[in-house]
Amino acid sequence: MNEMLILVDDQDQAIGVGEKMQVHRQGLLHRAFSVFVFDTQGRWLLQRRADGKYHSGGLWSNSCCGHPREGEATDAAARRRLREEMGFECELRHVARITYRLDVSDGLVEHEYDHVFVGRYDGRPQPDPAEASDWAWKPLPELWDALAGQPQEFSRWLRHIAEQTGRAEFERWQSLATR
C-alpha cells in the first residue's frame, strides 16, 4: 500500500492527500515532523539513515522524522515514528514550526510544513536497520562543528533547520528537553 501524505497550505491547513513519492517528485507542500532527542547530559541523538532509504541514505540526521497519516495527530505520529525508527518512546514537546523546500536527491523535493518536537531519553536506542544504520550521542558544540566542517555528511533538512534557526534556538530546544 502506498503511503499517503497530508497536503497543506502555508498555514498548515489540510487541503488534500497525495501519494508519497509523487508528492516528493512534484515538490508539493505537505505536513511533516522532525524529532530531536537529548539525554540528561544534553547530548543530541543523531541517526545515520539506512543506505536503502529512498533518499538521503547514509547521511546523519536528527533523531527521527516522518509524516503523519491522514486522521493521525502530528504528535502521535512523531511518537509512533520514534518507536518504529529508533525503538524507544519518550515524552515529546512541540517547540517550533518550520517551512522549507529542499532538493534532496534524484529529482525529489522535501517541501514541508515541519513540526519540530524535542524529548529526553537516557537509554540505548534499538533502531530498525531498515530505517537507521547507526546512531550517536553528540554534544551540541561537536554537532555544530561537524555541520559546519562536514556538511555533506548530514541530511539537507538537518543542515537547513540548523541554519534557519541558529545555535541559540538549538540551545533553547536542548534546555526544554532536558529540564
Residues 6 or more apart whose CB falls under 8 angstroms from that of 103 comprise 109, 156
Q: How many CB atoms lie within 10 A of CB 73?
A: 10
What are the φ and ψ backbone dihedral angles of 125, each rounded to 5 degrees?
-60, 150
Q: Which residue in the list 65, 91, 131, 142 is annotated as catalytic? A: 65
Is residue 77 helix, strand or coil?
helix
Sequence spans of domains, the chain: 4-171
Q: What is the pTM of this model?
A: 0.95
pLDDT digits (tens, 9 = 90+) for 109-143: 999 999 999 999 999 999 999 999 999 999 999 99
Task: Give how far the C-alpha of residue 140 lies from the chain's centroid of Cα atoms, to the nearest Å.
Answer: 17
Closest CA relative to residue 160, chosen from 79, 59, 81: 59
64 is catalytic: no
Report the distance separating Cα 165 and Cα 172, nearest Å: 11
CATH superfamily of 4-171: Nucleoside Triphosphate Pyrophosphohydrolase (3.90.79.10)
Query: Packing angle between helix 156-165 and helix 140-149, nearest 10 degrees?
Result: 110
Q: What are the binding residues for Mg(2+)? A: 85
Tens of pLDDT, residue by residue over 31-71, are 999 999 999 999 999 999 999 887 888 999 999 999 999 99
Q: Which of 19, 84, 91, 112 is catalytic?
A: 112
Q: What is the mean pLDDT of residues 3-30?
A: 97
Q: Is the pLDDT of residue 167 over 60?
A: yes
